[in-house]
Amino acid sequence: MTELEKCTAGEYYNCHDKIFLDMKSNARKLLQEYHALAYEQKEEKRHILQQLFGEIGTNVSVGLPFICDYGQNIHIGNNVSVNMNCTFVDCNKITIGDNVLIASNVQLYTATHPVPLSERLTPDRKEETEQYFCRTYALPIKIGDGCWLGGGVIVLPGVAIGEGSVIGAGSVVTKNIPKNSLAVGNPCRVIRKINEDMCNV
């Protein structure tokens, strides 16, 4: 398997492989151009986002500043608002559905490392070299249609948030959230069902 295939499959991969460095370099270039544009330069902004993201629907806004790792692993539907100062670490796929609100300071992290130190460190590392010293893997994140992520929400690797759900400000989402749920806290927990009157629409 190539390093890219390992990454996509959720296995340990070399994040300093040339393919990732090239992807990151391209993303940094496009982000620099994006940040240089004025607020009202909507068409120019969309043109850059079309190059940066793997997929982008209609009526999508991404506030400044915005940070992502590769860009091409981000797939966004229609009618999506990403507010200012959001960070998408898209080492694996980030899928955002239609009619989604993402508030300021939201962080979506697909990349992670093993918790035990013995597993986290690269077994054949050499202290005197520039070799990356720890293992990395990445798991996809999915945000369903009609979701709203409040300010400062953090979504961890491998999490799926069901359609119609609302995540309260400041929450840390460590596990999947079912659809049509209001969930808050650290760790984020469902406190009640919502949108029940729309389930049969």
Active site residues: 113
Contacts of 70 (CB under 8 A, 6+ apart): 20, 23, 24, 27, 90, 91
| CB 172, CB 154: distance < 8 Å | yes
CB environment 147-170: b (16+ within 10 A), e (fewer): bbbbebbbbbbbbbbbbbbbbbee
Kindly state the tokens that stand for 21. 């460095």
Structure tokens at 185: 């806290």
Q: Considering only CA atoms, which of 191, 201, 104 is closest in space to residue 145? A: 201
